[in-house]
């Protein structure tokens, strides 16, 4: 099967992979949770626009890559809710609200902001409609790249007995990767849904998917994850009967 990262691998990379073979998959466990990371307004803007156009008003935008992924995330959420898999939503917590200095330097042109820019800044961590939480779903806010750092995420996952995290969101090379590494460090099984993660840089997106698949997670197509969810639902019905 051709993978998104194949075009970025060198001949030596390919030779090494052929010589060393594939690692065994981590697989799914028995108690999955969908972890939705940073599907907020700042990374997609208010309407679909190409990246170089979108960053004129939303400097952290991922352009059309984000909108394309959100359409797939809607499918992931719908099936997860249908079969009873919890969804945990992660978004940012601004320094103005937390008093904690930002971990990043931010993007955009410094200087005075007009009313429209101030409005965008106030909405930047609002979770977008396509990935919005439903009442009762956990929503946690973070001040660092990883969803685990300085948040009660681990306590919540322990409380609900989770053993598998199905990850979506952005950015593949940043907050998604940081969260995946921490999740695997805590010995969760981790599945990254390929079409449901996104980044503003195509090469970084592809190679980080490759690297996570090599070390920390199973990077799977959405169709495979949805098929597994169907089997999960059938097994639950069988057990209940």
State how far the alpha carbon of 150 is from the alpha carbons of 138, 142, 163, 171, in Å.
16, 7, 20, 19
Structure tokens at 141: 């806010």
pLDDT in tens, 184-201: 999 999 999 999 999 999
Task: Give the model's pLDDT for residue 105.
Answer: 67
How many domains is the chain partitioned into structurally? Answer: 1
Show the CA angle centred on residue 80, arms to residues 79 and 84, nearest 5°: 120
Distances (CA, A) of 20 to 23, 212, 213, 216, 220: 9, 17, 15, 17, 21
* Region 74-103 average pLDDT: 92
The answer to whether position 8 is within a domain reads no
* 168, 175, 196, 204: the active-site residue: 175
Domain annotation covers residue 221: yes
Residue range 112-152, pLDDT digits in tens: 688 998 999 899 999 999 999 999 999 999 999 999 999 99
- Per-residue CA distances from 22 to 10, 11, 179, 224 (Å): 17, 17, 23, 18
Which pair of structure tokens corresponds to residue 7? 């075009």
196 in active site? no
| Assigned domain for 23 exists | no
In this structure, the number of other CB atoms found within 10 A of the CB of residue 93 comes to: 18
Task: Quote the distance between the C-alpha of residue 122 and its chain's center.
Answer: 22
pLDDT at 116: 92
Percent of the chain whose pLDDT exceeds 70: 96
> In which band, very low, low, confident or very high, does the pLDDT at 111 lie, cut at 50, 70 and 90?
low
- By the 10 Å C-beta count (0-12 exposed, 13-18 middle, 19+ buried), 114 is classed as exposed
Position 43 in a domain: yes
Which domain range does residue 210 map to? 29-104+112-240
**Residue at token pair 């090379």:** 173
Quick: pLDDT tens for 57-66.
Answer: 999 999 999 9
Is the distance from CB of 220 to CB of 192 less than 8 angstroms?
yes
Q: Is residue 229 part of a domain?
A: yes
Q: Are 211 and 3 in contact (CB under 8 A)?
A: no
% residues pLDDT > 90 (the chain): 84
Q: 19 lies in a domain?
A: no
Which whole number is the average pLDDT over 160-186? 98
197-219 pLDDT, tens digit each: 999 999 999 999 999 999 999 99
Is 121 a member of any domain? yes
Residue 2 lies in a domain: no
Query: Taking 60 as the threshold, does the pLDDT of residue 37 lie above it?
Result: yes
The strand pairing partners of 33, in sequence order, are: 165
What is the pLDDT of the chain when averaged over all its residues?
94
pLDDT at residue 82 is higher than 90: yes
* pTM across the whole model: 0.95
pLDDT for res 33? 98
Q: CATH number of the domain that 87 lies in?
A: 3.40.50.850
């Amino acid at each position: 099967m051709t993978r998104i990262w194949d075009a970025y691998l060198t001949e030596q990379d390919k030779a090494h992979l052929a010589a060393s073979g594939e690692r065994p998959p981590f697989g799914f466990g028995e108690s999955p949770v969908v972890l939705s990371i940073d599907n907020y307004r700042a990374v997609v803007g208010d309407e679909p626009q190409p990246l170089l156009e979108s960053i004129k008003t939303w400097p952290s935008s991922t352009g059309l890559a984000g909108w394309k992924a959100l359409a797939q995330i809607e499918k992931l959420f719908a099936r997860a809710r249908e079969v009873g898999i919890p969804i945990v939503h992660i978004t940012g917590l601004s320094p103005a609200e937390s008093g904690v200095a930002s971990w990043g330097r931010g993007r955009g042109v410094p200087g005075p902001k007009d009313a429209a820019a101030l409005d965008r800044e106030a909405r930047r961590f609002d979770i977008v409609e396509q990935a919005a939480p439903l009442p009762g779903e956990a929503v946690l806010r973070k001040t660092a790249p990883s969803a685990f750092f300085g948040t009660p995420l681990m306590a919540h996952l322990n409380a609900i007995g989770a053993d598998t995290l199905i990850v979506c969101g952005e950015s593949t090379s940043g907050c998604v990767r940081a969260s995946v590494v921490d999740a695997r460090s805590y010995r969760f099984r981790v599945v990254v849904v390929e079409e449901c993660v996104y980044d503003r840089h195509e090469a970084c997106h592809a190679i980080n998917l490759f690297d996570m698949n090599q070390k920390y997670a199973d990077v799977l197509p959405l169709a495979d994850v949805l098929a597994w969810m169907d089997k999960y639902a059938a097994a639950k019905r069988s057990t209940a009967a």
